[in-house]
Structure 1
Amino acid sequence: MSDIYNIAKSGLKTYKEGLATTGQNIANVGNEAYARREIQISEVKSGSADVLQMSDNISFGVKIDGIVRAFDQYIEMQLHDAKSGFNYSKSKTEILDRLENVVRPAAGSVSQRLNEFFQALNDVALDPSDLISRTSALDTAKSVASSMQNVAVGVNDLRDLISASIEESVTDTNLIIRQLSEIQKEVLGNSSPNSARNDLLDQRDALVSKLSEFVDIKVQYKAGGEIEILSGTFGQGQPLLSQFEVKEFDVKSVDGKNKIFLGDATGQGAIQVQLPSGKISGLLASDTTLSEVKENLDTLAIKFAEEMNELNQVGVDLNGDIGTRIFSLDSVSIQKTSTRNSDVQLQISGFSDDLVGEAHTVSYSADSGSWILANGDGETLADFSENTEVNGVTFSIIGTPIIADRFEVEFSNNKSENLSVTINDGRLLAASSLLIAEPSAENQSSAKLTVDATEISIIDDVTNLSELLTATGNSANNLLLRDSGALGVLKDVDGISNLASLKSQTQFQMNSPYSSLTTSSQLKVTVGGTEHSFSFGAKINDFSSYGELASLLNSGLIKTDGMVGGEYKSFKDLGLYAGGNTNKLVVSAAAFTGAAAYDSASLKVDVGNEVSAIKIDGDTASAELQIFTREGVQLTGTPLTDNQISNLITESNGFNSGAQYNAQHLAVTSNSSYIGGSISRITTAGNYVASISSLGSSVSTNSNMTVDNVENMPLARAGMTSTLTINSPMGNAIRYEPSQGMMAGHIATALNSELSNEGLRVRASNFVELYEVPAEQIQFDLKGDNAETVSIDYDMSAGSISAFVAAINAHTGETGIIAYSSANNRNIVLQKIDGNDISLENVVISNEGEIKLRQLDSFGEVINSPENATPQTISTGKFASIGGQITFVSSADFSLSYNGVENSSQTSKFEAGFVTKDYLPDNSLNRYTFKETGLIDGGSISAEGIIPVAPSSSYTFNISSDSSGQLSATYKGVGNENLTSAAISSNLANTLRANAPKSHFYGNI
């Protein structure tokens, strides 16, 4: 009876579970993510037979083997493909429907507006004198521009929408992939690999189905509920999910088009994938279509504008003038990217095709107090304070800049959304021909006359240098222009670069057949009275000419026979360089050693046979190279005197008739320019400079700094009491008297206007360092541009210099004063951006504290003046007034005179020299940049191999040390491969570091 009971019990239990499963199926009939379940049952077999068992075939009921999901892999994969294809078509159709509405609106399409425009032009052609038809034609031209703009903007908006949709879809796709990874971990983490939870499998398949809507996928189903998902073109699919490893999608714009990658698109391991279907693929295909539509529209706009402008520019308008452009695609976009709020704005007027095609930036440099215009490569195009002109485009700054102000500028001339009409009067439509040939009524023949306008060709007898300067040369392969006066003209050139005038080196020429040399042959060179011999030995048998032997000498493998100063010398050490052929050996001497130091040279062929060298002394005179435009505008060189002007600026020298000398654009500063072109000229000596204070005296006499008790503060600003005379490089004496109250910045601006055609440039600067700032409560009133003083109150006992600086800079917009903290966190540098005065008034410092002051020049060096000879201090009850310095710069010598005292200019190697020195107050350092000229100074041999030019660069750096004397380093005579700014800087720094004083510590336990 018990067996019958157990069999019945197992049957009831089994089918109860079956009914529950059926009920679960019925309850989820509307759930797309649910897969139908069914139970699997089997009989319960008996155990091993024993003596009491009648038969082995007797069973003991029924049991449930499991609940399985209804799942067909083939159908699932078909469904995934169908969903991917459907969503591809759906996403693409939605975009293309919108595109059709943009391109073909109900009214006012591009084609309609073009037909109206051409019809209006026909009406003008019928009666060019009719102003009404001209006005109508101009209106239709504006309608054409407007319709193209609308389509372009609409297409751009759709592309923006697509980009946003792709970003969103990629984000959703990656979320699904991560969710599938988590489910895979649970499935594979099940203790029974063959009994994965059905609800997890339902979630998995629902997510896989959702994933197929976004991207084309291939799913591989494996044992234990594991799946592997791949995506991409068939045969090239990349795994998205494999066991626990996950790869996510990323989107990146490449050449203006969206591309899909697996992995971080900015990293090196990213793989670009091609998605044949899915929503994302549909969006990408739509983006490609939109890109093609936009390109075609841009091409149409460019072609339309070019041809219409060309037609209008060969005709005559109603006023009888040559026609101008009707349409323009020129556009300038300006985006302010400053990290801090300021009221400064950038205005741009004009347009230049030379600036099209790359991004430009205009950024404020607090170091120099100027704005830097740079191209996409970071190359500085202009350095200016308020406005500048580059390639005919004027950049103007409005407002007061602060640190980190920056603008991004883009010039374009090929975008249909920028199509505009440039004329606003129908009279300007050139509906008549420029030249008309009408036959006389008396003409009896069929002859016709045609007349075309041509450009006037200027023909003269002046040498055309363009043909000579096209090839790249070096110091040994150069042009020998021995004439003085006008050398020639450059025609049809876009620019001149690396043009240099060279001094010739001293040379020794020795003539003797190379075949006559023996193993005992020697080369002897006497330098500074010391003879140096170089024995060739058996090496002569390895070569067949002096040219090959010269390469061995130049490499330093052959050194002097004897030691000089404790070491054997090479050609490089002596500043020598060799060249030659089968019959001649030539040795050149570098200029930095001094031409007079090279006495003689000889070639000992063999015993008793010595050939003395022919010495050709070098020419160290300056070439004074000058470059002008044919209108008389001087671009580089030194200013001309009246006598030079009358002799040089003539038609016979290639100048145009009526040319007038103009030195306003003479390259003096680093940011010189002329009609958009940048001009840079450097010399080894640098430009001439002289500095005065706003009081008129030399800075070394009176640097205009006053520190006194507040009751002695003057009511009026001190200034020049007599006339300042500027004796210009052109030989003119310019007298200047500033108005009462003018400061250094005001005076520099006024003088630049008066001296613009004298080859002089003037700038103003004002730096003052507050050092040994005490840890006390500090209060003072700060005054710069502000009429009302700004109160500064800061407690240094609990704060820091950087916070003190921030408190001062919070008022930069009002004062025009920028503060910087020093590296030692003890000092503050104040800079007046325009060079005008800085005033610290009503000073209060707790506990009788005091602050020391000293003035700095534009290079950050302490000004050598009586006011800075001993430390000036401010404390409670005192004030300080610090005036700026005015610096005059020219490429030629000049002088200043004030109160009968002459202030002569001196050359500065940091002003348009081969070394640039920048003061970086925010970093408390000076930066030195070295200009290298490898083609000139790196050593070279002429194409024939006969004329050598020795490496002649020489950079010497001297700094004061805390021991006696100076620290000095020299880097000279190196070849082109080692003649880089980085190599020069590194070598000088290493030498200075090696020669610097060192500390030695001694002690014992």
Structure 2
Amino acid sequence: MSFGILGTGVSGLAAAQKGLDTTGHNIANVNTTGYNRQTVEQISTVGIPFGGVFLGNGTQVSSISRAFNEFSYTEVIYNKSQFNYNNTQTTNASRLDNFLANTDTGITKSIEESFNAINGITEDPTIISARNVFLSSAESTAKRFNNMFSEVEQQHLGNINQEIKTTVAAINEITARIGQLNGEIAVANSVAENGFPANDLLDKRDLLVSQLSEKVQVNIIDLPDGTINLTVGTGLTLVAGTFAVPLSVERNEFDSNKLEVGIAPTPGAPNKAIVTNQLDGGSLGGLFKIREELLLPAIRDMGKIAIAYADAFNRQQSLGRDLNGDEGTNLFKDINDPQVALTRTLNSKQNPTASDFSVNITNASLLTGEEYLMEVDQTGNLVVSDKDKNVLATYTPADIAAMSPPTNDRLEIPDTGLNINIAKNNLAVGDRFLIRATYSGSREIERTLEDPNLVAAAGNALDVSAPTNPNNVELSLYEITDTSNANFPNQANFPPPLDPQIRVVVDATGTQYSIQDSAGNPLAAPAGGPFNIPSDQVIDLPGMRLELKGQLAGNEVFNITNQGGTAPFDEKKFGPGDNSNALIMLEYQNKKTLDGGTNTFSESYAELVTFVGVKTQSGKINADSFAVLLAGAEQRMAAISGVNLDEEAANLIRYQQAYSAAARIISIANETFDSLLQAVR
């Protein structure tokens, strides 16, 4: 019986010792990040049968468990991931919002100043200083666009690229350490006495998973040996047991300045699968989200405004006359400059051989800032689609041949304001190309007019009358295309007293038009027509394009006379003092020339600023919401897993008393044993 007492005392002493050790461990780690309070779990030892009864045989420690709640932990890492996801977006969006909305760095002020300068010309077009002020304001506006592009692309997008690199490196470091800990945990679990869990290793691993969730949202899969697998997105593996799958930073398929995240589809595979779209949540997901939904659209929208602004002034310049009486020339670099047009299409790096496309902008009001994908399908067709994979155009091999050298016909992409041809044709099945017509618009705008005398403030000397026009349809000059055309209406090609020089005659259906000379004879085919009237009602004439405004009734007749040219013309109406073209330029301040004719230049920019501001505010609201949710989740987890010093102090006393009592049991057992020995001597 004494041996039973001794064993019982020893078991109690050992259990109390483990209780003291564990309590001391808790107290020592009260400030250790990620530490979960540990608790000694005791059970009674199986009793000894004696005389028909079972006598108690002491205690044993069955486990030292962590105060860990998987639901609370999952709640913490999810909210942490979502907070960082939204906070990263908010931080970057706020920088862009402050930049675009600032009157000193935004474009609105420069645009308004350019129209103020035009107003100065309208007061007296002969004053050279007023013309110089206008040229200076045009230069300032172009430079402002240039600076905005540089700021957003180099600073904002450059910062995003650097953060992507840093974040991917941090993710790889964390996942590698998690893989190592998985191995250590598996070994510890296999050799642990009575299957005791490796609590401190589990704490370290859970802390790393929590840190990883700040970077990217992860899914945890528990395995029987105590290890875990980690996946992201739709099941992409980051950690499988002891093996960590490293992410890599890759160049975008089309744009080498745009970074993506890749991963080897199988261990050691040389080619990386791009998995950017599968990385949701965390700061990395936030970086890609803000880049794709805010920064890149902002650059494209700035380019759209710059292109429309330059095109409007260039077009109106071409419709007027300068101080020398000549047709106006471009104020800004041609928006369809051949070199610029070639930069609007990017080859996929997977294309075996590069092909070069030239993309011209035919109608700036239709520009949306959207990107378009071109692919050569299995039948050899070139298919153009939008971001939602809606097919916009399909060009057959015959079309492709017509677009290619030596003919280089331009084919329209319907409803986009764009047309294309192929400067270098190396097309092969599977080739892919990205059209981004407006991306570089704010970088490429450049004032090219230097001489103030060449500002085309005067009217174009084009008189249009309509002896037959029941619906009062307006016909006005839209664009000068070729003044060297032999049938271009001017006094050199049609000497006075020919008036009108040419006529536009609409057929009875109002769907076709013909071009006649002053005597009513059709111009030599094909210049005389008949031609179909397009849906935009912009019709082609020799050396020019005219725009019809209104509903044609049929049988309209328009007389056209250009009073400019070599012969004398009405000085009051068309001379140096005329400001009629400058007045039309001034109208562009309030003219709806953008976004399908719904916005002015300033309104379109204000819409961009509002869009960025709304995104910023929305991100802030989401970040604040998840900050509250995260704080609550962490408090709930701390209530379960945290170390309470008062509680641990009480445990110290409890285990100390148990230890002393167990020691007393051993002492009594010794005394009893000694008494027995003395009794038998």
TM-score (norm 2): 0.51
CA 1:451–1:75: 2 relative to 1, 3 Å: closer
Please give the root-mean-square deviation of Cα atoms over the aligned residues, in Å.
Answer: 3.6
CA deviation vs aligned residue, 1:315-341 (integer Å, no higher than 9, x gap): 12223332211112779xxxxxxxxxx
2:297 paired with 1:292:
yes
2:341 paired with 1:309:
no
CA 1:437–1:358: 2 relative to 1, 3 Å: closer
CA 1:31–1:450: 2 relative to 1, 3 Å: closer
More helix by share: 2
CA deviation vs aligned residue, 1:17-65 (integer Å, no higher than 9, x gap): 2122112212212222211101011222234x3xxx3353211222222
What residue number does 2:4 align with?
3
CA deviation vs aligned residue, 1:382-432 (integer Å, no higher than 9, x gap): xxxxxxxxx9xxxxxxxxxxxxxxxxxxx9994312322112333321111
Residue in structure 2 matching 1:121, options 118, 123, 126: 118
What residue number does 1:429 align with?
455
1:140-539 equivalent positions in 2, closer than 5 A: 140-157=137-154, 158-190=156-188, 191-192=190-191, 194-232=195-233, 236-252=234-250, 253-256=252-255, 257-263=258-264, 267=271, 273-288=277-292, 289-328=294-333, 352=339, 356-357=343-344, 376=354, 414-435=440-461, 455=483, 457=485
Q: Which of the two has higher C-alpha Rg?
A: 1
CA 1:270–1:195: 2 relative to 1, 3 Å: farther
CA deviation vs aligned residue, 1:288-312 (integer Å, no higher than 9, x gap): 1101111111111111111111111
The one-letter amino acid paired with 1:163 is N
Q: Matched residues in 1 for 2:168 and 2:475: separation? A: 69
CA 1:20–1:414: 2 relative to 1, 3 Å: closer
CA deviation vs aligned residue, 1:829-875 (integer Å, no higher than 9, x gap): xxxxxxxxxxxxxxxxxxxxxxxxxxxxxxxxxxxxxxxxxxxxxxx
Shift of 1:458: 5.3
Q: Secondary structure at the match of 1:421?
A: coil
Q: Is the 8 A contact 1:84 1:213 kept in 2?
A: yes
CA 1:279–1:192: 2 relative to 1, 3 Å: same
Q: Secondary structure at the match of 1:254?
A: coil
What residue number does 2:66 align with?
69
Q: Matched residues in 2 for 1:7 and 1:106: separation? A: 84
More strand by share: 1
Q: Matched residues in 2 for 1:114 and 1:206: separation? A: 53
Q: Matched residues in 2 for 1:310 and 1:65: separation? A: 87
Q: Is the 8 A contact 1:437 1:450 kept in 2?
A: no
2:98 paired with 1:97:
no
Q: Matched residues in 2 for 1:376 and 1:306: separation? A: 30
Identical residues among aligned pairs (%): 26
Q: Matched residues in 1 for 2:205 and 2:69: separation? A: 14
TM-score (norm 1): 0.35
What residue number does 1:695 align with?
none
Q: Is the 8 A contact 2:261 2:274 kept in 1?
A: no
Shift of 1:271: 5.2
CA deviation vs aligned residue, 1:608-663 (integer Å, no higher than 9, x gap): xxxxxxxxxxxxxxxxxxxxxxxxxxxxxxxxxxxxxxxxxxxxxxxxxxxxxxxx
1:868-947 equivalent positions in 2, closer than 5 A: none
What residue number does 1:36 align with?
37
CA 1:359–1:245: 2 relative to 1, 3 Å: closer
Higher relative contact order (CA 8 A, sep 6+): 2
What residue number does 1:979 align with?
none
Q: Is the 8 A contact 2:260 2:274 kept in 1?
A: no
What residue number does 1:583 align with?
none
Q: Is the 8 A contact 2:319 2:477 kept in 1?
A: no
Q: Matched residues in 2 for 1:189 and 1:238: separation? A: 26
Shift of 1:71: 1.2
Q: Which runs of 5+ in 1 are unaligned?
A: 332-349, 361-374, 380-390, 392-410, 440-445, 460-490, 493-1005
Shift of 1:114: 0.8
Shift of 1:99: 0.7
Q: Matched residues in 1 for 2:66 and 2:343: separation? A: 65
Q: Matched residues in 2 for 1:378 and 1:112: separation? A: 38
Q: Secondary structure at the match of 2:146?
A: helix
CA deviation vs aligned residue, 1:459-501 (integer Å, no higher than 9, x gap): 9xxxxxxxxxxxxxxxxxxxxxxxxxxxxxxx99xxxxxxxxx
Shift of 1:218: 1.1
Q: Is the 8 A contact 1:77 1:218 kept in 2?
A: no
Q: Is the 8 A contact 2:307 2:335 kept in 1?
A: no
Shift of 1:451: 9.0
Q: Is the 8 A contact 1:258 1:284 kept in 2?
A: no
CA deviation vs aligned residue, 1:982-1003 (integer Å, no higher than 9, x gap): xxxxxxxxxxxxxxxxxxxxxx
What residue number does 2:56 align with?
59
Q: Is the 8 A contact 2:179 2:244 kept in 1?
A: yes
Q: Secondary structure at the match of 1:319?
A: coil
CA 1:315–1:30: 2 relative to 1, 3 Å: same
Q: Is the 8 A contact 2:333 2:445 kept in 1?
A: yes
Shift of 1:269: 5.6
1:756-767 equivalent positions in 2, closer than 5 A: none
Q: Is the 8 A contact 1:302 1:414 kept in 2?
A: no
The one-letter amino acid paired with 2:278 is Q
Displacement over 4 Å in runs of 4+? 268-273, 350-360, 375-379, 411-414, 436-439, 448-459
Q: Matched residues in 1 for 2:175 and 2:153: separation? A: 31
CA 1:325–1:266: 2 relative to 1, 3 Å: farther
Q: Is the 8 A contact 1:356 1:413 kept in 2?
A: no
Q: Which runs of 5+ in 2 are unaligned?
A: 348-352, 358-407, 409-436, 466-471, 488-525, 528-681
Q: Matched residues in 2 for 1:329 and 1:286: separation? A: 32
Shift of 1:82: 0.4
Q: Matched residues in 1 for 2:153 and 2:78: separation? A: 32
Shift of 1:274: 1.8
What residue number does 1:138 align with?
135
Q: Matched residues in 1 for 2:67 and 2:4: separation? A: 35
The one-letter amino acid paired with 2:314 is N
Q: Secondary structure at the match of 2:30?
A: coil
Q: Matched residues in 2 for 1:35 and 1:119: separation? A: 69
What residue number does 2:109 align with?
112
Shift of 1:76: 1.1
What residue number does 1:512 align with?
none
1:614-693 equivalent positions in 2, closer than 5 A: none
Q: Secondary structure at the match of 2:45?
A: strand
Shift of 1:285: 0.7
> How many residues are aligned here?
385
CA deviation vs aligned residue, 1:65-97 (integer Å, no higher than 9, x gap): 221111111111111110110100111111111
Q: Matched residues in 2 for 1:451 and 1:38: separation? A: 88
Q: Matched residues in 2 for 1:86 and 1:449: separation? A: 59
Q: Matched residues in 2 for 1:110 and 1:156: separation? A: 16
Q: Matched residues in 2 for 1:326 and 1:203: separation? A: 66
The one-letter amino acid paired with 1:74 is F
